[in-house]
């Protein structure tokens, strides 16, 4: 019998990258269907354009620019396109979606080395670039020929008389981004991911807890703050990105609390009524630092030497 010594890892799992991406994609589909039903067929074209343009950008960049193996089959580019589309206004133009896809995939992901090497969440970078470049299209909401404001914009402008009901907010009968309006469908998708153990509870629940507590501190309705805007979508589907969030449990709790903290701060003191996107990106930048100080000490190592060199 011949013994073969192979490098780590020695523990293997049947859960592959493509299977994880497919599970998240599947969990997001119901919210997208509601967005198309609510905002019209143009929303479907936006979603389709976002997914296809992200995949095409990844193919071109890896095949012709960086000369690397094409990895479209892992599903990460398609999922990035879907998530970015869910963060967009139904009034954005199709060509602008392609601009966001370029920044999400080429600049944020491939220029850093591809999947697993990006510092920031690609979908959120795409949204942030579009919001900075085309603020009018990104903050326009129109349903059935009636121009209206999102619940957070109503609060920002201090117009409580026209606030929607809790039921409308949870079901999704409100203006907003394409994939974030139906909280009940997003929660169903999140429950599926938690059940399949694709994501853990630490980041989403600490994120939501932080938003609720700080909303009370600023004199706002915590339920309204949690279910308005992109908190649910961000907490369960954006902040839990494996690449850009901390590895260890204490770090994940800190990460979630930080996301909630910056979300509330930006909502109260920023120019825009929503802050989830920038809050998660800020915490993405702090993720390596959080990992550094929350990593467990290796058993048997000297504490002083470990703190000095690790």
Q: Is the pLDDT of residue 148 over 70?
A: no
Task: Outline where DSSP puts E strands in the chain.
Answer: 142-143, 146-147
Q: Which of 140-149, 175-184, 198-207 has the highest mean pLDDT?
A: 198-207
Q: What is the mean pLDDT of the chain?
A: 88
Q: What's the pLDDT score for residue 144?
A: 47
Q: What is the average per-residue pLDDT within 97-114?
A: 96
Q: Is the pLDDT of residue 168 over 80?
A: yes
Residue 292 CA to residue 310 CA, distance in Å, equals 7
Least confident interval from 46-50, 173-177, 197-201: 173-177
Q: What's the pLDDT score for residue 145?
A: 44
Q: What's the pLDDT score for residue 162?
A: 60
Q: Is the pLDDT of residue 170 over 50?
A: yes
Are residues 141 and 175 in contact, defined by beta-carbon separation less than 8 angstroms?
A: yes
Provide the token pair at 110. Answer: 């491939």
The residue among 132, 129, 231 whose CA lies nearest residue 176 is 231
Per-residue confidence band for 139, with pLDDT thresholds at 50, 70 and 90: confident
Q: What is the DSSP letter of 111?
A: G
Q: What is the average per-residue pLDDT within 207-217?
A: 96
Q: Is the pLDDT of residue 306 over 70?
A: no
The pTM of the full predicted model, rounded to 2 decimals, is 0.90
CA atoms within 13 A on the CB side of 51: 14
What percent of the chain shows pLDDT beyond 90?
Answer: 71
Per-residue confidence band for 160, with pLDDT thresholds at 50, 70 and 90: low
Residue 300 CA to residue 133 CA, distance in Å, equals 53
Residue 186 CA to residue 136 CA, distance in Å, equals 26
**53-81 residue pLDDT tens:** 999 999 999 999 999 999 899 999 999 99
Q: What's the pLDDT score for residue 118?
A: 95
Q: What are phi and psi of 295, to 5 degrees?
A: -70, 135
Q: What's the pLDDT score for residue 150?
A: 61
**224-280 residue pLDDT tens:** 899 988 999 999 999 999 999 999 999 999 999 999 999 999 999 988 878 999 999
Q: What's the pLDDT score for residue 301?
A: 61
What percent of the chain shows pLDDT beyond 70?
Answer: 84
Q: What's the pLDDT score for residue 1?
A: 52
Are residues 265 and 278 in contact, defined by beta-carbon separation less than 8 angstroms?
A: no
Q: What's the pLDDT score for residue 193?
A: 97
Would you call 146 helix, strand, or coil by DSSP? Answer: strand
Hey, what domains does the chain have and what are their CATH numbers?
17-294 (1.10.3430)
Q: Is the pLDDT of residue 211 over 90?
A: yes
**4-23 residue pLDDT tens:** 555 555 566 667 889 999 99
């Amino acid at each position: 019998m011949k013994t073969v010594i192979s490098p780590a890892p020695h523990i293997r799992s049947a859960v592959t990258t493509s299977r994880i991406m497919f599970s998240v994609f599947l969990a997001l589909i119901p919210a997208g269907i509601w967005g198309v039903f609510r905002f019209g067929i143009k929303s479907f074209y936006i979603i389709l354009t976002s997914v296809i343009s992200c995949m095409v950008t990844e193919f071109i960049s890896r095949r012709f620019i960086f000369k690397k193996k094409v990895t479209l089959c892992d599903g990460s580019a398609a999922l990035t396109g879907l998530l970015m589309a869910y963060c967009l206004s139904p009034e954005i133009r199709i060509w602008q979606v392609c601009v966001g896809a370029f920044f999400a995939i080429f600049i944020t992901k491939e220029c850093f080395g591809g999947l697993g090497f990006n510092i920031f969440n690609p979908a959120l970078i795409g949204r942030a670039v579009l919001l900075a470049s085309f603020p009018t299209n990104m903050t326009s909401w129109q349903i059935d020929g009636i121009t209206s404001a999102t619940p957070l914009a109503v609060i920002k402008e201090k117009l409580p008389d026209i606030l929607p009901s809790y039921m409308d907010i949870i079901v999704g009968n409100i203006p907003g981004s394409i994939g974030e309006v139906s909280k009940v469908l997003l929660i169903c998708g999140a429950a599926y991911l938690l059940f399949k153990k694709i994501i853990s509870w630490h980041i989403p629940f600490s994120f939501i807890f932080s938003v609720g507590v700080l909303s009370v501190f600023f004199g706002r309705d915590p339920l309204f703050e949690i279910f308005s805007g992109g908190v649910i979508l961000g907490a369960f589907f954006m902040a839990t990105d494996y690449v850009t969030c901390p590895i260890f449990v204490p770090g994940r709790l800190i990460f979630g609390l930080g996301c909630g903290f910056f979300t509330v701060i930006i909502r109260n003191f920023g120019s825009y009524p929503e802050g989830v996107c920038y809050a998660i990106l800020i915490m993405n930048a702090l993720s390596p630092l959080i990992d550094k100080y929350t990593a467990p000490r290796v058993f048997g190592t000297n504490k002083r030497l470990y703190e000095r060199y690790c």
